[in-house]
Amino acid sequence: MKPGREQIEKGKEMRKKISRADQSIFKLPRSRKLAPEMIIASNNDRLPELIPIRHYRMSASPFAFYRGAANIMAFDLSHQPHTDLNIQSIGDCHLMNFGGYATPERTLVFDINDFDETCPAPWEWDLKRLATSFLLIADERGMNKGAAEDIAFSLVRSYRDNMQKFSNMSMLDLWYMKFDLADMRNKAKNRKAKNLLNEAIAKARKQTREQVFYKITRQVLGKFEITEQPPLVYHPYDLDKVMNSVISFWESYKDTLLPDRRFLLGKYKIVDIALKVVGTGSVGTRCYVVLLMNDKEEPLFIQVKEARASVLEPYVAKIAYEHHGQRVVEGQRLVQTAGDIFLGWSTGPAGRHFYFRQLKDKKITPEINRFDAELLGAYARLCGRTLARAHAKTGNSDVIGAYMGKSDKFGEAIVSFSKAYARQVNIDYEQFMKAVRSGKLPTREDTVDERLS
């Protein structure tokens, strides 16, 4: 199916309102506060004892700071020229929020895997955040500026070419499309890429629920409980109160599942609950690991994660869902190839919103520290293709593709913006580190343990 002439003309007409060259513009908004102030504001209502861990993780590098400062970029993007064409935005679209996982059919696929900030927003905001993340990580890996810019440009070109390709596909074919990791491994021409994919697939296939169970639990007086790994995994001091609290909104969570999945979940009972520190930007939000067992003593781990307002919400039209857990779940269902069968949402007794999903379901995280420039470029192209498919599912791919056109003007503009924004991230990071050194932003060293990462 070829794009209609009307849609093509609409895409070209968009250039009159915001030209492709305008996408390169980055001007620091006059009303913008200093980075430390914006980080402090984003700490509101987080668990106070975990906020220093958040600061510590963000202090590791400019890229680590960038991961934890999605609220700053959301503010900045809203003050730059942008189109009014919305898609289901990822919201926090950086290169570490892509990876592998198992579909309900147990196929390992590559896709976007973090949706805490998802909401309808201009399509180019995701692309700009993703391109900037590649420039920051290339700099962190010691790659020269020319190589870094080539990587960012290859990302945008992949997004453009695939968006235009997807505009020629039927909607059903687009929604059925999956990026199978085994197929990607078999077609990989780069020997190092093939070896890394082989390792990742083998590791994921070994990651059974039973293996995870014996790694992160222990038996005490004949009962299983989650092993504490302070300060990252620990039982709340008022465990009985927390247990009763989670149980009280467990039933309403089950109501958000399909009937067959609700029946399946009903075969399990809650055995233990622990608090878990997650991610970088999410540190300090309430996140629980729930251990469930059935009559056969088979384990199931569910993550119950607090859902706060998306960082994009102040700058976009009214969100369709008042419940932030529902916003995350429905956004993920719209965008992802295939979702977790236990994905759902509920409201806690204090009125806080939560969403639920399985923990560590054959998850594959890209080992960026092992990527050279060639591999990072290949990964950028894969992310560009994946993001284009995600946007094409909920946006008008004909119009977006026609707006970008066939020349390199759009790609050059996005790279130019990303270079300017990466420089600003480094400035913000220095301000942040100055506040850390002065004690204004306290830090607390954590202990990274991959068992519950």
Residues 51-101 have pLDDT tens digits of 999 999 999 999 999 999 999 999 999 999 999 999 999 999 999 999 888
Helices (H), 144-208: 145-166, 171-176, 181-187, 191-206
Contacts 24+ apart (CB under 8 A), 252-260: 252/346, 252/347, 253/344, 253/345, 253/346, 253/354, 253/356, 254/344, 256/326, 256/329, 256/344, 256/345, 256/346, 257/341, 257/342, 257/344, 258/341
In angstroms, the CA 123 to CA 296 distance is 47
In angstroms, the CA 308 to CA 45 distance is 10
In angstroms, the CA 11 to CA 402 distance is 5
- The residue among 444 and 450 whose pLDDT is bigger is 444
Contact, 183 vs 15, CB < 8 A? no
Terminal-to-terminal C-alpha distance of the chain:
43
Contact, 68 vs 57, CB < 8 A? yes
DSSP letters of 66-97? HHH-HHHHHHHHHTS---S-EEEE-SS--GGG
> Quick one: pLDDT band at residue 361, thresholds 50, 70, 90?
low
Q: What pLDDT, on the 0 to 100 scale, is given for residue 93?
A: 97
State whether the Cα torsion 383-404-23-90 is positive or negative.
Answer: negative
pTM of the full structure: 0.93
Residues 267-310 have pLDDT tens digits of 999 999 999 998 888 999 999 999 999 999 889 999 999 999 99
Residues 429-440 have pLDDT tens digits of 999 999 999 999
pLDDT at 143 over 70: yes
Q: What pLDDT, on the 0 to 100 scale, is given for residue 452?
A: 45
Q: What H or E segment, with its residue span, contains residue 14?
A: helix 5-17
Residues 264-278 have pLDDT tens digits of 999 999 999 999 998
Contact, 95 vs 366, CB < 8 A? yes
Q: What pLDDT, on the 0 to 100 scale, is given for residue 447?
A: 64
